[in-house]
């Protein structure tokens, strides 16, 4: 079995049987291609069925000299999944990564924005700014309001459709990882901004393939992930914000602020679209003073 054939079969499995997104599949593919490239450069002619523990270990050691522990851990996890698939399909008997340990890494949490910082970023948007007749200032403001108010991933934001808006019921339908759908509450304040943008959008010559996409560029096409990152980076620079932020920072801030104001962790999990409550807990780096306040307020023995 050749490497490319094995990789193609693995990608098909990830898409059809595991229902992973294109981005996730691309990451797995990159992991395997790095190993393939290493073998090619070192003139190691071998199939994925024949590769053994020592060769994998040499590859991991080679990689460790140029990437950090977190990247190593992710690479090992991706390759472990690839070889587990080959074992599952009876192409080989054992997984050569079974005894390869991932480097220990701590939990890395993105910066959280204070409410005042979020307001400052939004207020820094020039609402009069136009590009080819499109009021992109109003669009950018709506984008930030939706990111923060609904806690969306950037991929969920750019794929949000007009047909996903259920304002009468107070929800939007979000398609998350693995095409799994969830309903997220949306406040009237955020709805108002979407209405403003939709009125502007109505005057754009929309590309036929993107008729239902909510957020568009000035050419009537769907926005890219990179464009959202650029919008946020430029605004952070405009207000001289020292924190390193991204679209995910708004999602993290959404969850953190809800928790600090007494929201139930399970409810936050559902709104974020996390399969496991453990994943949600990673976002909740609440300070000790808040935890003490929660204990003093809600513990049944507080007055004993």
Does residue 101 lie within any of the structural domains?
no
Together in a domain, 77 and 207: no
Residues 71 and 126 in one domain: no
In tens, the pLDDT along 147-199 reads 999 999 999 999 999 999 999 999 999 998 878 899 999 999 999 999 999 99
Please indicate whether residue 251 is annotated as part of the active site. Answer: yes
CATH code where residue 161 lies: 1.10.443.10
Instruction: Kindly name the residue from 177, 221, 233, 290 that is annotated as catalytic.
Output: 177
Catalytic annotation, pick one of 80, 92, 251, 252:
251
**Residues 276-296: what's their mean pLDDT?**
60
Is 55 contained in some domain? yes
Burial pattern 45-61, b for ≥16 Cβ within 10 A else e, equals eeebeebeeebbeebbe
- Could you confirm whether 207 is annotated as catalytic? no
Structural domain includes residue 143? yes
Nearest residue to 17 via CA among 76, 85, 74, 83: 85
Integer-rounded Cα Rg, in Å, for the chain is 23
* Number of structural domains in the chain: 2
Any domain includes 164: yes
Q: Is residue 128 domain-shared with residue 252, that is, in the same domain?
A: yes
Does residue 97 fall inside a structural domain?
no
Q: Is 299 a domain residue? A: no
Structural domain of 220: 115-293
pLDDT in tens, 195-208: 999 999 999 999 99
CATH number, position 83: 1.10.150
Task: Identify whether 106 is part of a domain.
Answer: no
To the query of whether residue 153 is one of the catalytic residues in this protein, the response is yes
Cβ contact 237:125 at 8 Å: no
Q: Catalytic one among 92, 139, 153, 193?
A: 153
Tell whether 67 and 157 lie within a shared domain.
no
Q: Phi first, then psi: what are they for 58, rounded to 5°?
A: -65, -40
The rounded distance, in Å, linking the Cα atoms of 213 and 139 is: 13
Helix (H) or strand (E) holding 181: strand 181-185
Q: What is the pTM of this model?
A: 0.64
- 139-153 pLDDT per residue, tens: 999 999 999 999 999
Is 288 labeled as catalytic in the residue annotation?
Answer: no
């Amino acid at each position: 079995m050749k490497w490319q054939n094995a990789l193609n079969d693995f990608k098909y499995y990830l898409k059809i049987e595991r229902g992973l997104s294109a981005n996730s599949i691309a990451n797995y593919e990159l992991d395997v291609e790095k190993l393939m490239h290493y073998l090619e450069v070192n003139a190691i002619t071998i199939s994925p069925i024949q590769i053994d523990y020592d060769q994998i270990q040499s590859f991991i050691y080679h990689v460790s000299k140029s990437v950090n522990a977190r990247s190593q851990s992710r690479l090992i996890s991706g390759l472990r999944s690839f070889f587990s698939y080959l074992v599952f399909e009876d192409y080989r008997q054992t997984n050569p990564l079974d005894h390869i340990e991932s480097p220990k890494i701590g939990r890395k949490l993105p910066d959280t924005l204070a409410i005042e910082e979020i307001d400052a970023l939004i207020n820094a948007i020039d609402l009069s700014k136009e590009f080819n007749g499109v009021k992109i200032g109003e669009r950018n403001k709506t984008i930030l309001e939706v990111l923060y108010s609904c806690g969306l991933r950037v991929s969920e934001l750019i794929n949000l459709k007009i047909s996903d808006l259920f304002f009468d019921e107070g929800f939007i339908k979000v398609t998350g990882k693995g095409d799994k759908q969830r309903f997220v509450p949306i406040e009237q304040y955020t709805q108002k901004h979407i209405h403003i943008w939709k009125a502007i959008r109505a005057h754009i010559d929309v590309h036929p393939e993107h008729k239902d996409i909510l957020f568009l560029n000035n050419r009537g096409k769907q926005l890219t992930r990179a464009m959202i990152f650029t919008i946020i980076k430029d605004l952070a620079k405009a207000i001289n914000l020292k924190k390193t932020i991204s679209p995910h920072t708004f999602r993290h801030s959404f969850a953190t602020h809800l928790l600090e104001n007494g929201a139930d962790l399970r409810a936050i999990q559902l709104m974020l679209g996390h399969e496991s409550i453990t994943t949600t807990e990673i976002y909740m780096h609440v300070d000790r003073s808040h935890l003490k306040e929660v204990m003093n307020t809600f513990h049944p023995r507080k007055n004993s």
